[in-house]
Amino acid sequence: MSSKVLKDGTVLAFDATSQSIQVLRKASILIENDRISAIEENFDALPTPDGVEVIDVSGKIVSPGFVNTHVHMWQSVYRTLGPNTTLSQYFDWVSQASEGARAAFTAEDIHISALEGYLEGLNSGVTSCVEHAHNNWSAPVMEAGYRAAVEGGARVWWCYDVAPRPAFSVDEQWAMYSDLKQDESRRVLPGLSLDGLGWTVLNKDGTGLDLIRQKKDELNLEALTVHHLGGPWPQGNSSPTCVCEENNIPAAGLPIIFSHAPFLTESDMKALRDHDMFVSITPESECHYGHSQTTGHLISDQASIGLDTTWTFSGDMINQTRLWLQLVRLRNYTKTLDAGLLPNANPMPVEQAFLLATRQGGRALHRDDIGVITVGAKADLVVFNGDSPNMLGWRDPIAAIVLHANAGDVEHVFVDGEWRKRDFKLVNLSQPWEGLRTQFVEASRRIQAELAVPPALPEKLWGIGEFGDVDHVSTVRK
């Protein structure tokens, strides 16, 4: 791999001492192999190896890549199918638990759907993903999802959801996971979801920790993830309190990410901090589906940002970050206003939102070299062009990204120092875009036609959860 220099850009470097972004107004970055090897504000002081490729980024913003800590890429072909769906409707309709969804997808559908999802992320600067891979109902389907992660070009923690399936037993799934051809680039890293394993791992008898330790050694695991809701949602054993105090899973020494976790208790928040575990807040999903998110603003020090199901809404981290910033501001402003007082300060700076989408994702994975621009960090970088009508005139580069940018402003993307988007166009694809696009559209039209009509809601969710009426909003005058 040739060395590269990003010359004279506005660089959003990370200062570990202050735990904040250091804006370097005119700086150059040397990339050697997959790492940032030097950052200099004086280009002439930057070492330049023979044959180095120099990319002029003057007038542009150089950002760390976004880290998406929760997503299900295999569902991308559903795009626009469920603009008004709820989480309760989702399960029996289009999830991995749906017989209709399992029947609709071929293995190649899974592959093309997930592959396009990774490319959507790269197009908007998402360089790292935690994939909650619950495409788990057959060996070909499992392999296809993994192959898409390898071919996608992003950095992926592929957290497979081992779950009992009629045609694909748990033992067969463990064997298949062991036999998957490892990614030679080491960009796709093995992990596990605890959802399907909950009956085995989160059973409060101590054996779950032994299993995780065993699989960590066998599979070289690098992360664990689990869905957790709480509140009025039917309860399982997935809370941070249960994972820690009743099962001691952190003793396995792996990062643990709780997706959504909208109703954390004081005990849960203490467990997150005591064991350095993280929440993945997925703002648009939690607004769209009805999960809610009542406690995320209280745990920002142990939180990151994710996307969830990108077929229901945008698949870029810029929108998610902006939405979460404004939701937190609204919540905290409202608290003051409800007391009959006027807010005297803004509750959340844009820099904190930016860190949630970048550096906090790296922290969630216990990686100091992900989601930051520092010497020694992975060369996962995004270059924003500030010349568009929505960006023109920027002075504060963090505000420009969080409050004004969109995916169309992403000019270049690098993962491990390799080009993934160049001059506003995705490059180095595993197959030509035209063919990929054709396959994706065909699969999307066919699968959406098969699943066009959602099933009726059950009387109770999983026989437990009580449904309630929701106030509707309309522009129609009555």
Global pTM?
0.97
When the pLDDT of each residue in the chain is averaged and rounded to a whole number, the result is 96
Other CB atoms within 10 A of residue 5 CB: 23
pLDDT at 125: 98
The tokens for 53 are 């490729």
**Distance between CA atoms of residues 474 and 370, nearest Å:** 44
pLDDT at 4: 97
- Asked if pLDDT for residue 205 goes beyond 90, the answer is no
**Distance between CA atoms of residues 394 and 25, nearest Å:** 12
The answer to whether 421 and 120 are in contact (CB under 8 A) is no
- Percent of the chain beyond pLDDT 90? 94
Q: Give domain limits for the chain.
A: 74-364
Span 326-376, pLDDT tens digits: 999 999 999 999 999 999 999 999 999 999 999 999 999 999 999 999 999
| Three-state secondary-structure class, residue 392 | coil
* Residue 341 Cα to chain centre, angstroms: 37
Read off the pLDDT of each residue in 55-61 and give the average, rounded to a whole number.
98
Q: How many helices (H) and strands (E) does the chain have?
A: 15, 17
Query: Between 263 and 199, whose confidence is greater?
Result: 263
- Asked if pLDDT for residue 1 goes beyond 80, the answer is no
Span 398-410, pLDDT tens digits: 999 999 999 999 9
- Percent of the chain beyond pLDDT 70? 100
The tokens for 74 are 């295999």
Q: At what angle do helices 139-152 and 107-123 cross, to 10 degrees?
A: 20
> Band of the pLDDT at 85, cuts 50, 70, 90?
very high
Span 223-244, pLDDT tens digits: 999 999 999 998 788 999 999 9
Torsion angle defined by CA atoms of residues 375, 351, 70 and 32, in that order, rounded to the nearest 10 degrees: -20
**Distance between CA atoms of residues 466 and 23, nearest Å:** 50
- Asked if pLDDT for residue 257 goes beyond 80, the answer is yes
- Asked if pLDDT for residue 185 goes beyond 80, the answer is no
pLDDT at 198: 85
| CATH no. of 74-364 | 3.20.20.140
pLDDT at 200: 87
Span 262-281, pLDDT tens digits: 999 999 999 999 999 999 99
